[in-house]
Structure 1
Amino acid sequence: MGEDGKVVLVTGVSRDLGRTFARDLAADPGVRRVIGVDVVPPRGDLGSVSFVRADIRTPVIAKVIAKEDVDTVVHMSVISTPGSAGGRNTMKELNVIGTMQLLAACQKAPALRRLVVKSTTTVYGASSRDPAMFTEEMGPRRAPRSGYVKDVAEIEGYVRGFARRRSDVRVTTLRCANVIGPSVVSPLTSYFRLPVVPTVLGYDPRMQFLHERDLYAVLRHAVATEVEGTFNVAGDEVLVLSQALRRIRRPSVPLPSVAVGRIGATLRSARVADFSPEQLGFLTYGRGVDTTRMRTQLGFEPALTTPEAFADFGAGLPPVGGADLVDRLLGAAERELAGGSGRG
């Protein structure tokens, strides 16, 4: 099959980022067909993408890859929040077991030539001992024991194993910074959409962002290019949290870390925002990644810097309103903290 006629399978198309990317890719003149796979149909328009309802945790995915003569797989179905997956156990199954089954199917697909995996800079963790900038060779300063970071570390390990076994397949892992933009719904964008934003007292974490359009662009670039390897992907420059909040005119409430964690649980139960231990670590220590390899080896340059990506996200935010709800939640969490402090 020629390079001008790729048949691409995209996982995770029931979520907006996966659906939009698959639809955009289907319009690429170098792509003959795009097959979108997920356990539930997407809510929005898929354009010319062929949707296949399949669970990548089951061997049926191998039949889809073989039947459709897929030569390129883009894996986008790694989930970052237990709430969206139906609980932590289901999230781990979808992430780790799903990736294992997908790679087993890829292993048995002789026509496969390209695998692109959307990973995340969250794999580096966030701690007080972090370097100023993580390069791709570095790992987290504290080994992840649970949660999303552990899932991502395991997934990347399985991907490296697949790359060793199938040296004929070009494998590219994209460690993307937090994706942001007007239509992105994520734990971090929900946090910034709060009318009153709790911050960790005494910390002003550094942050990098990747605009949603640049996410689609780097994925398309990875599908089209011959380059393989692992790459940090982020917009240039960094923002600290206090700068970000000033730019979107959000009032903040600095609180001790344990109080922010309690408030996060309260907000999660009220379905206002989803706080994870990973997010709390990020909001405390932040994270910076070196993107030299992205530019020099992958040959990709995001169109928007971190501040520009955040500005575009902020432009779509409604003015601060509904603060009464969050004030009540903050008050309840603070009272709970005060009441619990003497109970050990």
Structure 2
Amino acid sequence: MGKVVLVTGVARQLGGRFVRRIQREPEVDRVIGVDAVPPEHHLGGADFVQADIRHPTIAKVLAEHAVDTVVHMDITGTPLGTRGSRSTVKETNVIGTMQLLGACQKAPAVERLVVKSSTSVYGSAPRDPAIFTETTPPKSLPSGGFAKDAVEVEGYVRGFARRRPDVAVCVLRFANILGPCAESPLADYFSLPVLPTVFGYDPRLQFVHEDDVMEVLRIASFEARRGTLNSGTFNIAGDGVLLLSQTARRLGRPTVPVLLPAVTWVGSALRSVGMTDFSPEQIRLLTHGRVVQTAQMRETLGFEPTYTTAEAFADFARSRAPGLLPPETLARTVDRLADLVPAAPSEERT
């Protein structure tokens, strides 16, 4: 018999796309998509079960369908559409994961668990290392928002792995996911007509394209079971980095530098008009940035991203409305302004 795969969070574009993708896998016999609300997109030949993973009923779904592979994608930083709030998102992320893991623990048929996590678990701090590996402890644990949710989720997953050593557990820490269908606070931020930035900072950022997200989830869910991988935690990101100033120029969007003490006020103002989730963790990312090493992604998972960080961002930029200025014009303007600024003494000596 083929594999029975359960995927959570299928009402979101990313989850729905993954469900459609894995139905083409020859070893998959049945795919079950789970979410608290019906998806507005089609799921191909998958079965949809409307269930809230925050409730114990998810255990019945696993048992009734003899699920052996669980792909947990219902971990996110934003409400779905106009429904929900930050508290609802947190409950789904944390309480929902607890309930799902409890159900998996009681389900003897479950043999593999794949969890969609985030590099936000490393936080963003002024004394961070230049590059985070999977074993690098954060200098400052995230204090709230989606990043804190991800830290808690991974803690529960580690506990589950200890209780069920017979289940192969794979945690994928994705960098910021971008693409034409991206749904994230950072995608919302880049869609603003003018980008507020932190004065004096130009952070390094990494991105992963949603196409690459589909492929690495597929590898972790299926190819891994053929003996090349049992369990592990992996950073997933495209090659290279982009500075925040480079992203603004490529979008054709001007920036407004804001003094750090006023950034929190700007974030509150943006949230009040529903434009973006400008949480404290988001502010720290746009202040200090974050870069991760992806050697284990290649050496152990055997995954090579199709898109670099710059290419993933370029594809995202093409899907968004044009900026206030053509990117070429904005780049020339910035370069001319830079030529007018006197070089710092240290730069003049070098």
Instruction: State whether TM-score is above 0.5.
Output: yes
2:54 corresponds to which residue? 57
2:10 corresponds to which residue? 13
Q: What does the per-residue CA deviation read over 1:58-102, in whole Å, with 9 as the maximum and x for residues that have no partner? A: 111111001011000000111213686733332222111111110
2:300 corresponds to which residue? 297
Residue type at the aligned position of 1:218: V
2:269 corresponds to which residue? 266
2:213 corresponds to which residue? 215
Distance of 2:177 and 2:20 partners within structure 1: 18
Q: What does the per-residue CA deviation read over 1:248-285, in whole Å, with 9 as the maximum and x for residues that have no partner? A: 21111111123332222222221222211111110000
Residue type at the aligned position of 1:35: I
For normalisation by structure 1, the TM-score amounts to: 0.89
Q: Which runs of 5+ in 2 are unaligned?
A: 326-350
Report which stretch shifted further, 160-169 or 89-98: 89-98
- Find 1:256's aligned residue among 249, 254, 259: 259
Residue type at the aligned position of 1:11: T
- Find 2:153's aligned residue among 155, 160, 175: 155
1:99 corresponds to which residue? 97
Residue type at the aligned position of 2:38: P
SS at match of 1:298: coil
Deviation at 1:201, TM superposition (A): 0.4
Residue type at the aligned position of 1:242: S
Deviation at 1:116, TM superposition (A): 0.1
1:6–1:31 contact (8 Å) kept in structure 2: yes
Residue type at the aligned position of 1:263: V
Whether 2:236 is the aligned partner of 1:238: answer: no
Deviation at 1:287, TM superposition (A): 0.1
SS at match of 2:300: helix
For normalisation by structure 2, the TM-score amounts to: 0.88
- Find 2:131's aligned residue among 108, 118, 133: 133
1:315 corresponds to which residue? 318
Whether 2:64 is the aligned partner of 1:67: answer: yes
Taking only aligned residues, the RMSD between alpha carbons, in angstroms, comes to 1.6
- Find 2:182's aligned residue among 181, 184, 203: 184
1:83–1:274 contact (8 Å) kept in structure 2: no
SS at match of 2:7: strand
2:200 corresponds to which residue? 202
- Find 2:29's aligned residue among 9, 29, 32: 32
Residue type at the aligned position of 1:284: T
Q: What does the per-residue CA deviation read over 1:213-262, in whole Å, with 9 as the maximum and x for residues that have no partner? A: 00011100101113220000000111110111111211111111233322
Deviation at 1:144, TM superposition (A): 2.9
- Aligned length in residues: 319
1:61–1:105 contact (8 Å) kept in structure 2: yes
2:203–2:243 contact (8 Å) kept in structure 1: yes
Whether 2:90 is the aligned partner of 1:89: answer: no
* Residues 83/256 of structure 1: CA separation in 2 closer, same or farther (3 Å cut): farther
Residue type at the aligned position of 1:32: D
2:284 corresponds to which residue? 281
- Find 1:108's aligned residue among 82, 106, 110: 106
Q: Which runs of 5+ in 1 are unaligned?
A: 323-344
Report which stretch shifted further, 25-34 or 107-116: 25-34
1:78–1:95 contact (8 Å) kept in structure 2: yes
1:41 corresponds to which residue? 38
Whether 2:312 is the aligned partner of 1:306: answer: no
Distance of 1:114 and 1:142 partners within structure 2: 31
